[in-house]
Structure 1
Amino acid sequence: MTAPFQRKEGAGISSIGDGGHMRGERFFRTGHRPRRSTTTRWLVRAGCSVLLLTATVGPGRASAASADAPVTCGSVVTASVTLTGDLTCPGDALIVGADNVTIDLAGHTLRGAGTGTGVQVSPQGTAWTGTVIRDGRIEGFATSVGDDALTPHITVGLRDMTIAGGPVKLRGGAWPELSISGSSLRRCEVDAVDARQVRLTIDGCTLHRVSARSTYTTLTSSRVISGGLSFNENNAGLVTGNVFDNAPISADNNSWNFVLRDNVFKNADIAVRAGWAPGTLVEDNTFKNNSIGVYGDRSDATIARNRFIGNRTAGIYVRNSTSSTSSFIDNVFKGNGRDPSGLTDEAGHPVRGAIHIGRGSSPITLTGNVGKHNAGYFVWITPPAGVIDGGGNRGRPCGPQPLPLICH
C-alpha cells in the first residue's frame, strides 16, 4: 500500500504550482535537524532506519515518527511532509513534534470519524513554532486543528485550507500566534475558530463562526456567512474590508479599542452589537437590509461616515448611553424603519427610523448626519437622555420636542 505521506526534501521554500508555476508563498524552515526526544536520539544512535514509538500525547494513541519513513495516522511529525493521497483516521491524525514543520496536504483530505484532532499543534503544552498546514481539506474531527491544553508561545499558520466540522481551536498561555489565510476565498473556508489568549489574524477566507476571548484579532478581506463573530475581552481588534452576510458581530465585556472599518453588513437581525466596549470605532461601513444596523448598550463609540440603507427597524439604536465621548458623525441614513420589528425602548417608545437613543445618563454628540426617506423619526431621543448638537444634521423629523438638536 502506498503511504499517504512522503518526507519532503530540498530547500527551505515550499511551493505548489499549476503547470509548474510558483505560487510564491514562502514558508520558514531551518536547515538544522529538528529536536527529538531522548528515546528517538538513542534509537538513531543504535542505527535504526525506521523508528516506531508510542506517543506520549495521550493514552491509547499509537504513533510513528521517522527520519526517513512515511507518516500515518497518529504519527508525531518531526519534519516537513507532503500528502500523496487522502488519509482517514479513527482518532487523532497527526501530531506536530518539532519546530518549523510544514504539513502540505497537496489538495488531499484528512478525514476523521467525529472524534480526535486532525492536527495537534502543541500536545501537552509543548512550544513548537513555525507550524504550517497548507493546501487541502480537514473534516470530521472533534477539533480540526488545535491543542489539548493551554499552550506557551507557539506560531501556527493555515494556508489555502478548507476546514469543516470541528473548530480550529487554540487556547494560549503566552500569546501564541494563529494565522489563517487564503490566496482566494474559495481556497480558504473555515467553519469555526475558537481562540483564547491568542494573536489571531485571518485574511482572505470564507468563515462561519469565530469566537475570540482575550484575543488580539485582525480580520481582513474575508466573507462571513450565516454565522457570526463574538469578541469578549479583546484589545485592539481590527475588522476591515470584509462582507458579513447574516453574520452579526458582538463586541462586549471590556473589549477595548475595537475598530470596524470599510465592511459591508447585510441581512442580519442586529448587524453589530456593541456592549461594554470602550473606544469602539465604527467608520466607513455599509449597513443594509438588517433589522438594526448598530445596537449599543453602555457603549463608548464613535460612529462615523457609515451608510445605513434599508434597515427595517433602525439604523442605530442605543439602548443605554453611559459615555459622554460617544459621537455620531457624518453618517447617511436612507430608507430605514419601513418594516419595524415592534421593539420598544425601556420607556415604551417604539424603535423605528434612523437614530433612536433610549435611556442615557450621558449625552451623545451628533454632527453632520443626513437622513433621507426614513420611516418614523430621523432622530428620536427618549427623555431624559441627552444630546449635544454638533451642527449640520439634516433630516426630519426629530423628536420629541423641545429637543436641543436642530434638524434642517
Structure 2
Amino acid sequence: MIRLSRKLSSGWFAAAGAAALFSWSVHPTEAYAAQLSCGQTVTADIVLTADLLDCPGDGLVLGADGITIDLNGHTVDGVGLGVGIRNNGFDNTVLTQGSGTSARVQQFDHGVRLGSGASGNVVKGLTLHDNELAGIELDNAEDNHVRDNLIDRQAQRGVLITGGSSGNAVADNTITANQGEGVLVQDSTDNRLEGNLIADSGDGGLILEGSGGNTLLTNTVSDSSDGAIALRLGSNGNLVRSNTSSRNQDAGLTVSDSAGNHLRSNTLQDNGDSGIVLQSAHGNTVTGNDVSRNTGGIELSQAHDNLIESNVADHTTGDGISLELSLNNSLRLNQAGHNGSRGILVEGEAAPGTGNRLVGNTTDANQGGGIFVSKAVHTLQDNIARGNDGWGILADPGNADGGGNRASGNAEPAQCAGVVCTP
C-alpha cells in the first residue's frame, strides 16, 4: 500500500483559528501499476501506466475511501462529456502526479469533481485544461485540499466551490486563461483560498457570492476582463488580507450588498476602476490597503457604518477617496495625495447624527483640492491639506469643525472654507 507522510504547510496558521493544510508525499512504487479503461471504478491504490484517451464519459471514478491514484505523467482525456476524475463522496483519497512529467486531465465537463460528502481528500500537482464547466469543482464537499495544480483554459471556471462546501483549502495553484471566473465560491462558508496565482480570466478573478466566513489570503489576481476580487450578494464576514491585484479591467476589490467583511493590507494597483469599491455594503473594515495608481482609490456608494483607516490612495486619475450618499462612516488616518482630482470627496446630505467623520487624514498635492465636503452634517477634525491645486479644505455650511485642521501651500489663498485651519 502507499504510505502517506503528512506535515503542516508553512504559513497555514497566518490567520487565527485556521485549520491545518497538509502536504502529502506519495511513494508510487509501492502501489499497483495498472492500465485502466475509461470509466473504470478504482478501489485500490494505483499508478497509471498509459494514457486514457477519448473517454466517452467519465475518465476514472473513485470507489473507496483512503486510496491514491497517481497519474504518473499520463493524460486522462475526454470528448467534452463527464468528469475526468469523479469522487461522489469518498473520503481521504489522494489524486496526484508522482513523476516529474506533467499529468493532464482534459476535455471533460469537469476535470476533477468532489461531490456531496467527499471529505479529507487531496488533489495535488495535476494539470487541468480545456474542460467545459470547471477545472476542479467542489460541491457540498468538506475539508478537502486542492494545491499546486495548474488549472488552465477551461471554457468556464477554473475552480468552483459550491453547494454549501466548507472547510476546504485551495492553495498555491496557478489558475490562468479560464474563460469565466478564475475562482467562484457560491453559497459556501469557511473555505480558505491562499497563495493562488489567478490571471487572464475572461470574467472576474476571484468571486464570492452568498458566501461568508471565508479567508482570502496572499492571492495574486491580474489581467482579468472584469474585476479582480469581488464579494457580493450576502457575502458577509470574510477576511481579505494581503492580496495583490493589478491590470484588471474593473475594480481591484469590490464589496456589494455584503456586510462585516475585513479588507486588510491588500495592494490593489493599476486597475481599470477604483482600487476598492463598497456599494450598498455596510459595517465593513478597510484598513492598511494600498490603492494607488487606479482610476480612483476608495469609492463608497450608499455604503454605511464602515471604517476606512490607514489606507494609501495616491496617484489616481480621479479622487483618492470618495463617498456618495454614504452615512456614519469613519475615515481616519488615510493618505490621499497626488491625485488627478480631489484627495477626499464627500457628497450627499446627512441628517443630524448620521454624518461621516473625517479625522487625521492627509491630502497633499491633489489637482482638484485637498478635501471637499458638500452638504451637511459631517465632522472634520485634525486633517492636513498641503500643496493642493485649489482649496486645502472646502466644507459647505452646516458641517462640523472638530478643530485641529491644518492647511498650507494650497492654490486658494484662504486655504480653507467652512472650517478653521492653521498652517
| TM bin (shorter chain) | 0.7 to 0.9
Q: Which residue of 2 aligns with 1:265?
A: 245
Q: 1:68 to 1:108 in 2, by over 3 A?
A: closer
Distance 2:105 2:68 in 1: 15
List 4+ stretches of structure 1 deviating above 4 A: 67-70
Q: Is the 2:33–2:49 contact (alpha carbons within 8 Å) kept by the matching residues of 1?
A: no
Alignment of 1:391 with 2:360, yes or no, is yes
Distance 2:137 2:172 in 1: 19
Distance 1:162 1:256 in 2: 33
Task: Return the offset for 1:306.
Answer: 1.1
Task: Return the offset for 1:92.
Answer: 1.0
Task: Return the offset for 1:144.
Answer: 1.0
Task: Return the offset for 1:368.
Answer: 0.6
Q: 1:267 to 1:70 in 2, by over 3 A?
A: closer
Alignment of structure 1 residues 3-402 onto 2, 5 Å: 10-13=1-4, 25-26=24-25, 70-88=35-53, 89-122=55-88, 127-135=89-97, 136-146=103-113, 151-166=116-131, 167=134, 168-172=136-140, 175-182=141-148, 188-190=150-152, 191=154, 192-196=158-162, 197-199=164-166, 200-208=168-176, 209-215=182-188, 216-227=190-201, 228-247=205-224, 248-268=228-248, 269-290=250-271, 291-299=273-281, 300-312=283-295, 314-322=296-304, 324=305, 326-337=306-317, 352-360=318-326, 362-385=327-350, 386-395=355-364, 396-400=369-373
TM-score after normalising by structure 1 = 0.74
Q: Is the 2:310–2:335 contact (alpha carbons within 8 Å) kept by the matching residues of 1?
A: yes
Alignment partner of 1:26: what SS?
A: strand
State the aligned residue count: 325
Q: Which residue of 2 aligns with 1:346?
A: none
Distance 2:274 2:125 in 1: 34
Alignment partner of 1:318: what SS?
A: strand
Q: Is the 2:300–2:323 contact (alpha carbons within 8 Å) kept by the matching residues of 1?
A: yes
Q: 1:78 to 1:204 in 2, by over 3 A?
A: same
Distance 1:69 1:265 in 2: 44
Task: Return the offset for 1:133.
Answer: 1.0
Distance 1:245 1:231 in 2: 17
Higher relative CO (CA 8 A, sep ≥ 6), structure 1 or 2? Answer: 1
TM-score after normalising by structure 2 = 0.71
Task: Return the offset for 1:277.
Answer: 2.2
Partner AA of 1:405 in structure 2 = L
Partner AA of 1:387 in structure 2 = N
Task: Return the offset for 1:74.
Answer: 1.0
Q: Which residue of 1 aligns with 2:416?
A: none
Task: Return the offset for 1:14.
Answer: 7.7
Q: 1:82 to 1:221 in 2, by over 3 A?
A: same
Shifted more, 237-246 versus 152-161: the winner is 152-161
1:111-149 CA distances to partner (integer Å, 9 max, x unpaired)? 111111101100xxxx310121112211110111115xx
Task: Return the offset for 1:81.
Answer: 1.0
Q: Is the 1:366–1:393 contact (alpha carbons within 8 Å) kept by the matching residues of 2?
A: no
Q: Which residue of 1 aligns with 2:393?
A: none
Task: Return the offset for 1:77.
Answer: 0.3
List gaps (5 residues or longer) in structure 2: 7-22, 98-102, 177-181, 385-423
Q: 1:194 to 1:28 in 2, by over 3 A?
A: farther
Task: Return the offset for 1:391.
Answer: 2.4
Matched-pair identity in %? 22
Distance 1:138 1:254 in 2: 34
Partner AA of 1:103 in structure 2 = I
Distance 1:27 1:390 in 2: 56
